[in-house]
């Protein structure tokens, strides 16, 4: 799973990725409106995907689902809502390529790790095992 994420930026870039996650999730929620009447179970599943995308869990996978939902919305409306679907698909592609950012569940689960090679505070018997 670590290969799916390039980095977890903090600060303003992390806030920007949080905003991008919100944009992709809200556009996916708008896409569920066209599905709700015909496939209520599918609409419920897409709403769960929206929630998971907002909290930042499995972000690249869910962003890919957003792209597919945008394509479905584009095809199901006959191209009438191509502006909305196009923007949502572009936001989802950018999110899939950039990753979730530091303010996400993915960052907590798969974030930066620190490796301490020579810990001066370690007991002597642990330091001399080399």
Using CA atoms, how far apart are residues 100 and 36, in angstroms rounded to an integer?
28
pLDDT average per 10 residues of sequence, the chain (130 residues): 62 87 84 73 82 89 84 74 78 87 84 66 58
Q: Model's pTM, two decimal places?
A: 0.70
Using CA atoms, how far apart are residues 87 and 110, in angstroms rounded to an integer?
29
Q: What pLDDT is attached to residue 56? A: 87
Using CA atoms, how far apart are residues 97 and 47, in angstroms rounded to an integer?
22
Q: Are 49 and 65 in contact (CB under 8 A)?
A: yes
Using CA atoms, how far apart are residues 106 and 1, in angstroms rounded to an integer?
9
By CB atoms closer than 10 A (0-12, 13-18, 19+), residue 37 is exposed
Q: What pLDDT is attached to residue 129? A: 53
Q: What pLDDT is attached to residue 55? A: 92
């Amino acid at each position: 799973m670590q290969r799916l994420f390039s980095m977890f930026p903090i600060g303003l870039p992390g806030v920007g990725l949080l905003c991008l996650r919100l944009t992709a999730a809200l556009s996916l929620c708008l896409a569920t409106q066209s599905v709700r009447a015909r496939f209520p179970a599918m609409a419920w599943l897409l709403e769960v995907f929206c929630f998971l995308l907002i909290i930042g869990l499995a972000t690249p996978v869910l962003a890919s689902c957003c792209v597919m939902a945008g394509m479905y919305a584009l095809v199901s409306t006959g191209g009438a809502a191509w502006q909305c679907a196009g923007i949502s698909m572009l936001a989802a592609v950018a999110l899939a390529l950039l990753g979730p950012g530091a303010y996400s569940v993915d960052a907590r689960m798969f974030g930066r790790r620190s490796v301490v090679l020579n810990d001066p505070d370690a007991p002597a018997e642990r330091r001399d095992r080399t």
